[in-house]
Amino acid sequence: MLKKLAITLVAVVFVGCYNLDNVGGKNSGGSIREIEIAGSQQTGGTTTPTTGETVETKPQQEEKIVSVDVNDENVNDYLTIIKSNLRTSAKKVDDNIRNQYTVPIGETLVFPVDNERAIKLSTSPKNANPKVSLTNGKVSFRTVYQGQYVLSTYVNGSVNRKITVSAISKYDFDEKDLYKLILQDSEKRDKDVENAVTLYKMLYPAGRYSKEVNYLFLKYAYDIKNNSLINEALAGVKNDFSSYSDSEKATILRAAKLANKSIFIPSEVYNTNNSDLKNALNEYNNSSKAPVDRATSTQVDNRTVATEKNKAKTQAREDETSIADYAREKVRSVVGGISGTTSTATTVASAKSKAGASTESYYEKGMKNINSNPRVAIDNFKKSLSSEKIQDKKPEIYYNIASSYAKLGNRAEVTKYIRLLKQEFPSSSWTKKSEALSNLIK
């Protein structure tokens, strides 16, 4: 009898420890759904409600991150949890004045300030756009992008202190494994790749595999001939166009042609010896569906650089859409709803509509003429440098001026602006791209 009782007690202890491990974040894999249910049973709580009520949680201990298997089921489950938290305005309320806070992505952090009258976002992860507000002495902070954010508080117009907010994922999706899942889903043309890409951008806003993920998403969109997804994906790859392989460049051009979208093609691309890329360039420029026509060539030191002539109605505003805009549009669909896959056609269309109604800046005029009229482009880019607040675009403008001068065969000015680019922005991606221009004019 005593022997049976001992065995029973051991079994109970073992099961209890197993559940605690799951809740405490020690498990090294498994289903998010099972973990959520186990956590609910262990704490006597319930799963996240789906009604419109506001859910508040008091911080009782440091947030624990649970390791899970990286698969489509867990990706979709976690996005559903985040969506539910956004819809129900789930809040983490901390009544203490601190300089450091932690909050799960998708939840709203609420904390007090010390008689400070204003708050401003100072730094954030690349491509992230958190929501921050200060009302009645309480700060509300929410983001769906993992990373560290620094907020500055103000008293009488002067900075009083810095507050660091760490936005974390409740579940540890290894970046490399998530990239492998995206690769696997894209090869199978599985619609789950859309959710995997969304989660990757939320967890790794400036991840090691961002360039590869952007291309895989574009190739998937091109393979299934989905123009709406192609539009999203083009915004993600175009700023890295020069860094892709010739084969990848060819796919990007064919996708742009299919979606009837204009993209900026660096002049050095036309010097390729790759037959597939040459064919893609010809298809893109000569097709009646292409947004630009093939134009005459301009001589640059005995080398022919092909240029393009824009049609009367260009889509220059779309061309300047940054990777940050793409990431925001892609993830914003999580707020609107997730039903297995995500789509941002509505938000993208809204953004385009607003952009079309605004007055063109010198920068926009420069982008409009960069292929068809280099002299006009140079003039507008220089005006932009002197009269517009475009510090974030300055490296790109330097590069575009140098590229435009290259088309005109002006070596001295090309060298001048490449030198300015290297001196002021040595670590910029545009500085790396300028190396090709330097080789072009030698």
Neighbours of 208 (CB within 10 A): 11
pLDDT band at 270 (very low <50, low <70, confident <90, very high): confident
pLDDT of 384 higher than 80: yes
| d(C-alpha 222, C-alpha 423), whole Å | 39
Strand order in the sheet with 131-135: 56-57, 91-93, 108-112, 138-142, 131-135
Neighbours of 25 (CB within 10 A): 15
The predicted model scores a pTM of 0.60
pLDDT at 372: 82
| d(C-alpha 36, C-alpha 17), whole Å | 16
pLDDT of 326 higher than 70: no
pLDDT band at 263 (very low <50, low <70, confident <90, very high): confident
pLDDT of 72 higher than 70: yes
| d(C-alpha 15, C-alpha 155), whole Å | 54
pLDDT of 405 higher than 60: yes
pLDDT band at 348 (very low <50, low <70, confident <90, very high): very low
- At 110 the three-state DSSP class reads strand
| d(C-alpha 76, C-alpha 10), whole Å | 37
pLDDT at 308: 39
Where does residue 111 rank: exposed (0-12), middle (13-18), buried (19+ CB within 10 A)?
buried
pLDDT at 67: 85
272-277, Cβ contacts within 8 angstroms, sequence gap of 24 or more: 272/246, 274/246, 274/247, 274/250, 276/246, 276/247, 276/250, 277/246, 277/247, 277/249, 277/250, 277/253
Share of the chain above pLDDT 90, in %: 39
Strand order in the sheet with 147-155: 100-104, 158-168, 147-155, 118-123
Locate 314 and state its tokens: 């260009």
User: What tens digit of pLDDT does each residue of 89-140 get?
Assistant: 999 999 999 999 999 999 999 999 999 989 999 999 887 889 999 999 999 9
Beta strands in 75-137 (DSSP E): 91-93, 100-104, 108-112, 118-123, 131-135
pLDDT at 435: 83
| d(C-alpha 169, C-alpha 185), whole Å | 22
In the chain, the amino acid numbered 181 is L
Among the residue ranges 15-24, 186-195, 363-372, 411-420, the one predicted with the least confidence is 15-24
| Residue the block writes with tokens 């979606």 | 259
Mean pLDDT of 346-359: 44
Nearest to 318 by CA among 266, 357, 292, 355: 355
User: What tens digit of pLDDT does each residue of 171-209 get?
Assistant: 999 999 999 999 999 999 989 999 999 999 999 988 999
Q: How far is CA 15 from the centre of its chain?
A: 42
Q: How many helices (H) and strands (E) does the chain have?
A: 17, 13
pLDDT at 151: 95
pLDDT at 195: 94
pLDDT at 236: 85
pLDDT band at 58 (very low <50, low <70, confident <90, very high): low
pLDDT at 219: 94
DSSP string, 161-183: EEEEEEEE-SEE--HHHHHHHHH
User: What tens digit of pLDDT does each residue of 19-53 get?
Assistant: 333 334 444 556 776 666 655 555 554 444 444 45
pLDDT at 316: 38
Where does residue 292 rank: exposed (0-12), middle (13-18), buried (19+ CB within 10 A)?
buried
| Helix intervals (H) in 227-308 | 227-237, 246-258, 275-286
| Residue the block writes with tokens 């619609």 | 191
8-state DSSP, 71: S
- Is 175:207 a contact under the CB 8 Å cutoff? yes
Measured between its terminal Cα atoms, the distance across the chain in Å is 93
Mean model confidence pLDDT for the chain: 76
Locate 275 and state its tokens: 């037959």
